[in-house]
């Protein structure tokens, strides 16, 4: 990751978003042109922004580096067992709000995993450790798609232990793919379990690893045959080589409401998954 700086002649840096059309030069010599201000957040003595930019005809996302950005703790390194249910639910909710905001702007994150969900820690009045400023970080792999685009194709997006089934298939990937991956992260945040991880899969070759992990996809989330058939139709039917392999390979979570939420986010058929905003309206978030 390279650093990007604005020209020193730019007036009132940080007091207002950088102007559209401004050229930014990175430490690697690349020039990025600001096309749009995607978000702006007031802070102490300045405004923090995220921008859509262009470099050599390709679109990129740049963000202001907030002080302490690199001091945040990743969810993967948080002691989940030590967190209260209230704290865990707040972390899941706040991260999901960030994902919903990205999806509203037609941004597919493509790499949802615990290491990309960062937060600040603080000591509460009772001495317990609390968490705040939950953010989805590292937008390096994020992609902006036109509103009517079907999605990304022919790419193996994301980390293997958090990847959606359609990403394994190198099929059409859009915001529902992020939702699937986020559900796997939510399971980890709530229970401390990495449901697709195993020592065997971690040591396996790429081909063996795919089969080991996909068996877990099926055992956890393909319980409804109608849903599984929808997944097959989504990828063009039984003639698809990936579908054939998946058919040859042919869950339990704490609490019925949490299980219902996860099931609605992990339908094998991407068209049946709920959106990030719909997930935030789920009754589980209102439970004590």
Q: Which residues, other chains included, contact 33 with Cβ-Cβ below 8 Å and sequence gap of 6+?
A: 21, 22, 23, 24, 53, 54, 55
pLDDT above 90 (res 283): yes
The strand ranges marked E within the chain are 4-5, 23-26, 31-43, 46-55, 58-63, 73-74, 107-108, 117-123, 129-136, 143-144
Exposed, middle or buried, 250 (CB in 10 Å: 0-12/13-18/19+)? Answer: exposed
Q: Please tell me which residue, 46 or 87, carries the higher pLDDT value.
A: 87
Considering the segment(s) 71-286 as one domain, its CATH architecture is: Orthogonal Bundle (1.10)
CA angle centred on 274, ends 255 and 106, rounded to 5°: 135
pLDDT above 50 (res 250): yes
Return the pLDDT at 251: 47
Return the pLDDT at 47: 83
Give 186-240 pLDDT, tens digit per residue.
999 998 888 898 889 888 888 888 888 988 888 777 655 566 667 778 877 778 8
N-terminal to C-terminal alpha carbon distance within the chain: 41
Return the pLDDT at 93: 96
CA 11, CA 143: separation in Å to the nearest integer? 30
Closest CA to 180 of 199, 159, 198: 159
Burial 236-248 (b: 16+ CB within 10 A, else e): eeeeeebbeebee
Q: Please check whether residue 90 is in contact with residue 131, taking contact to mean a CB–CB distance below 8 angstroms.
A: yes
Residues in the chain: 288
Q: Which residues, other chains included, contact 114 with Cβ-Cβ below 8 Å and sequence gap of 6+?
A: 74, 75, 76, 162, 185, 188, 189
Return the pLDDT at 20: 93
DSSP designation for 252: -
Return the pLDDT at 99: 96
Give 157-190 pLDDT, tens digit per residue.
999 999 999 999 999 999 999 999 999 999 999 9
Averaged pLDDT score across all residues of the chain: 82
Q: Which of 110-114, 124-128, 153-157, 235-239 has the lowest mean pLDDT?
A: 124-128
Return the pLDDT at 69: 52
Which residue(s) pair with 55 in the sheet?
58
CA angle centred on 91, ends 262 and 17, rounded to 5°: 115
CA 283, CA 97: separation in Å to the nearest integer? 16
| Global pTM value | 0.69
Residue percentage of the chain with pLDDT more than 90: 33
Give 57-103 pLDDT, tens digit per residue.
888 888 776 655 544 556 766 777 778 888 899 999 999 999 999 99
Return the pLDDT at 4: 55
Residue percentage of the chain with pLDDT more than 70: 83
pLDDT band at 17 (very low <50, low <70, confident <90, very high): confident
Return the pLDDT at 33: 92
What residue segments make up the domains of the chain, in order of their start? 1-67, 71-286
Phi and psi based region of residue 45 (left: phi greater than 0; alpha: psi -120 to 50; beta: remaining): left
- Average pLDDT over every residue of 99-114: 94
pLDDT band at 138 (very low <50, low <70, confident <90, very high): confident
Q: Please check whether residue 72 is in contact with residue 119, taking contact to mean a CB–CB distance below 8 angstroms.
A: yes
Return the pLDDT at 179: 98
């Amino acid at each position: 990751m390279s650093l990007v700086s604005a020209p020193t002649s730019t007036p009132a840096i940080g007091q207002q978003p950088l102007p559209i059309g401004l050229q930014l030069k990175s430490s690697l010599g690349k020039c990025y042109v600001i096309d749009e201000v995607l978000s702006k957040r007031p802070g102490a003595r300045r405004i923090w922004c995220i921008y859509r930019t262009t470099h050599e005809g390709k679109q990129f996302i740049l963000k202001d580096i907030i002080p302490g950005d690199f001091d945040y703790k990743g969810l993967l390194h948080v002691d989940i067992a030590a967190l209260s249910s209230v704290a865990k639910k707040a972390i899941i909710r706040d991260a999901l709000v960030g994902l919903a905001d990205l999806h509203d702007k037609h941004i597919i994150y493509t790499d949802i995993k615990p290491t990309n969900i960062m937060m600040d820690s603080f000591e509460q009045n009772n001495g317990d450790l609390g968490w705040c400023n939950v953010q989805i970080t590292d937008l390096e792999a994020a992609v902006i798609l036109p509103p009517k685009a079907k999605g990304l194709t022919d790419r193996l997006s994301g980390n293997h232990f958090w990847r959606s089934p359609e990403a394994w298939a190198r099929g059409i990937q859009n915001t529902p793919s992020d939702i699937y991956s986020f559900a796997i992260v939510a399971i980890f945040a709530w229970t401390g379990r990495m449901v697709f991880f195993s020592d065997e899969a971690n040591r396996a070759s790429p081909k063996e690893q795919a089969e080991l992990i996909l068996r877990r996809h099926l055992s956890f989330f393909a319980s409804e045959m109608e849903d599984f058939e929808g997944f097959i139709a989504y990828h063009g039917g039984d003639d698809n080589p990936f579908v054939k392999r998946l058919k040859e390979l042919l869950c339990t979570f704490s609490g019925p409401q949490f299980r219902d939420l996860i099931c609605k986010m992990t339908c094998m058929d991407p068209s049946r998954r709920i959106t990030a905003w719909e997930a935030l309206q789920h009754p589980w978030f209102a439970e004590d």
